[in-house]
């Protein structure tokens, strides 16, 4: 096991963030993992990760899951904070993304993301910490920026939105959108309205295709009053 870990670390090359096309382009960064430590800097934010142990997860990804300690410094917001997640997945291709989470804006699974999740104008912190997404895919811990306390505060509600989803949520116009899949033929799209820093489910669309049939049936539920209510079912070719 020690031999495998050493091979992975010495073969890791500098990481360059993907320059996605978006209204606020991501900041390009470079980072490298060595001796179970990683440093990533974007604009005014620096993230230092130290762990007691990291091991190879795939050829391009390592998982650090022993004694993980993240030190986040944000000079523009007067933040110097330590976070201790149970694990962090480190990609040698996508280390950090800073920019909007619009549909198509993020390509690749990043270890760290800085983006405004709750629409308050401040970047929040998102960390790839698990495999609780759809089909064992990535899941994330979400920390909302708290200007009054000068720190990032863990949000269970936003973190839960990454569990069971097949990708990280999309954020547009103070709405958070998730996508889930069940087998070959069922897709579920949920839309949440941001209210008082919390995501509130307002719509769920379930698309199902019968095996061997080209017809797609659509079930739409919307929040009416305080209940999710089914609206007329549609069917289309």
**In the prediction, which pLDDT does 234 show?**
53
**In the prediction, which pLDDT does 12 show?**
32
Is residue 168 within 8 A of residue 153, CB to CB? The reply is no
Sheet with strand 53-56: strands edge to edge: 53-56, 61-66, 88-91
**In the prediction, which pLDDT does 233 show?**
66
pLDDT digit string (tens) for 76-86? 889 999 999 99
Sheet with strand 112-115: strands edge to edge: 96-98, 112-115, 124-130, 139-146, 151-155
**In the prediction, which pLDDT does 149 show?**
93
State if pTM tops 0.75: yes
**In the prediction, which pLDDT does 236 show?**
44
Task: Say whether 155 sits in a helix, a strand or coil.
Answer: strand
**In the prediction, which pLDDT does 129 show?**
98
Is residue 158 within 8 A of residue 140, CB to CB? The reply is no
Domain positions in the chain are 2-164, 183-237
CA-wise closest residue to 144 among 134, 136, 152: 152
Q: Rounded CA gap, 63 and 218, in Å? A: 39
**In the prediction, which pLDDT does 152 show?**
97
Residues of the chain with pLDDT under 50: 1-23, 28, 235-237
């Amino acid at each position: 096991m020690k031999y495998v870990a050493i091979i992975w670390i010495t073969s890791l090359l500098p990481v360059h963030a993907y320059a996605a096309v978006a209204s606020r382009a991501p900041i390009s960064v470079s980072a490298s993992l060595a001796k179970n430590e990683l440093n990533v800097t974007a604009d005014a934010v620096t993230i230092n990760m130290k762990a007691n142990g990291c091991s190879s997860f795939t050829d391009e990804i390592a998982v650090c899951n022993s004694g993980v300690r993240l030190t986040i410094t944000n000079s523009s917001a007067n933040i110097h904070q330590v976070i201790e997640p149970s694990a962090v997945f480190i990609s040698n291709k996508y280390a950090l993304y800073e920019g909007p989470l619009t549909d198509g804006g993020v390509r690749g699974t990043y270890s760290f993301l800085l983006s405004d999740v709750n629409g308050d104008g401040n970047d929040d912190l998102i960390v790839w910490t698990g495999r609780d997404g759809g089909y064992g895919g990535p899941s994330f811990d979400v920390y909302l920026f708290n200007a009054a306390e000068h720190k990032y505060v863990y949000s269970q509600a936003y973190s839960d939105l990454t569990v069971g989803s097949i990708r990280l949520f999309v954020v547009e116009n103070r709405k958070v959108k998730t996508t889930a899949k069940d087998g070959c033929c069922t897709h579920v799209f949920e839309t949440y309205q941001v209210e008082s820093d919390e995501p509130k489910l307002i719509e769920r669309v379930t698309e199902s295709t019968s095996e061997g049939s080209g017809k797609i049936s659509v079930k739409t539920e919307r929040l009416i009053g305080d209940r999710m209510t089914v609206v007329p079912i549609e069917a289309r070719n």
